[in-house]
């Protein structure tokens, strides 16, 4: 195994985090939405890559890094672009063609502060646009949307845009997670290098994330760290 410092790793370079992955998959299979909490440099992103590279049957993971987004519109544009990528769509083997046709009809023309403008001329809010894109997906295959650096995005919006818009984004995500139809098709996983709880607490809206299953990723044990350095 090649030891990599400061960057996420994947595939043969990944050091197995058996118990953390078991906890995450147990939460996914129970229908929970997840917040992954951990100190810096313990491998949160590498764990997300492991889920992306080796998903369980009937789950289709999608990884989105939103660290650079500093407005609601930038965040949603990154997410919608990822949902529209052909590489992702083709994972839905039985419906990829139909979904591609659907996306052509629902082609997003512009994502702005006003919401999402579709090619048919209608503009709707971000949450409604998300529902349109996922509502007809095959329920036999559930999407796992892994949003990396979500807390950084919220902090960016607070700093460079408007705290109320950060609250709006948090509320939209909570409402999506609480929507039974969406929850039957999508599991959200949030992760990042700063704590979402601390960022949200500064806004006084911890209630917007209290439905998340908080899974902590600890540093390697002394035994595992020794084995890792000798691998």
Q: Note the pLDDT tens digit of each residue in 158-195.
A: 999 999 999 999 999 999 999 999 999 999 999 987 88
Q: Where are the domains of the chain?
A: 21-229
Residue 226 CB-half CA count within 13 A: 3
Mean of the pLDDT values across residues 77-103?
72
DSSP E strand stretches across the chain:
34-37, 59-65, 108-112, 115-118, 123-124, 142-148, 186-191, 213-216
Confidence at residue 221, expressed as pLDDT on a 0 to 100 scale: 47
The region that residue 31 occupies, defined by phi over 0 for left and psi between -120 and 50 for alpha, beta otherwise, is: left
If pLDDT is split at 50, 70 and 90, which confidence band does 225 have?
A: very low
Q: Which residues contact 78 (CB under 8 A, 6 or more apart)?
A: 64, 65, 66, 69
Confidence at residue 113, expressed as pLDDT on a 0 to 100 scale: 80
**pTM (2 d.p.):** 0.83
If pLDDT is split at 50, 70 and 90, which confidence band does 154 have?
A: very high
Mean of the pLDDT values across residues 192-215?
93
The CA distance from 154 to 226, in Å, is: 37
227 has a pLDDT exceeding 50? no
For 21-229, CATH gives 3.40.50.300
Mean of the pLDDT values across residues 121-147?
83
4 has a pLDDT exceeding 80? no
4-8, 31-35, 227-231: range with highest mean pLDDT? 31-35
If pLDDT is split at 50, 70 and 90, which confidence band does 149 have?
A: very high
Confidence at residue 84, expressed as pLDDT on a 0 to 100 scale: 79
Confidence at residue 6, expressed as pLDDT on a 0 to 100 scale: 45
Is 46:226 a contact under the CB 8 Å cutoff?
A: no
pLDDT, tens digit (0-9, with 9 covering 90-100), for 13-64 = 545 657 788 999 999 999 999 999 877 656 688 889 989 989 998 899 999 9
Is 200:209 a contact under the CB 8 Å cutoff?
A: yes
Mean of the pLDDT values across residues 143-169?
95
Confidence at residue 93, expressed as pLDDT on a 0 to 100 scale: 63
The DSSP-derived string for 83-95 is HH-HHHHTTSTTT
């Amino acid at each position: 195994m090649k030891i990599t410092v400061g960057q996420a790793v994947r595939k043969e370079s990944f050091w197995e985090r058996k118990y953390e992955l078991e906890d995450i998959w147990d939460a996914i299979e129970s229908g929970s939405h997840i917040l992954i909490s951990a100190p810096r440099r313990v491998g949160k992103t590498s764990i997300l890559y492991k889920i992306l590279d080796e998903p369980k049957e009937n789950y289709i993971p999608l990884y989105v890094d939103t660290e650079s987004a500093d407005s609601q519109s930038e965040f949603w544009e990154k997410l919608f672009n990822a949902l529209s990528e052909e590489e992702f769509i083709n994972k839905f083997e039985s419906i990829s063609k139909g979904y591609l046709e659907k996306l052509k009809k629902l082609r997003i023309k512009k994502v702005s502060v006003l919401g999402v403008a579709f090619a048919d001329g209608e503009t709707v809010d971000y949450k409604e646009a998300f529902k349109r894109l996922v509502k007809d997906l095959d329920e036999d295959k559930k999407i796992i949307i892994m949003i990396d650096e979500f807390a950084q995005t919220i902090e960016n919006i607070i700093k460079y845009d408007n705290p109320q818009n950060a609250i709006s984004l948090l509320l939209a995500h909570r409402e999506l997670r609480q929507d039974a139809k969406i929850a039957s098709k999508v599991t959200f996983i949030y992760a990042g290098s700063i704590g979402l709880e601390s960022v949200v607490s500064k806004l006084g809206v911890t209630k917007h994330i209290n439905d998340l299953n908080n899974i902590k990723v600890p540093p390697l044990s002394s035994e595992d760290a020794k084995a890792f350095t000798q691998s």
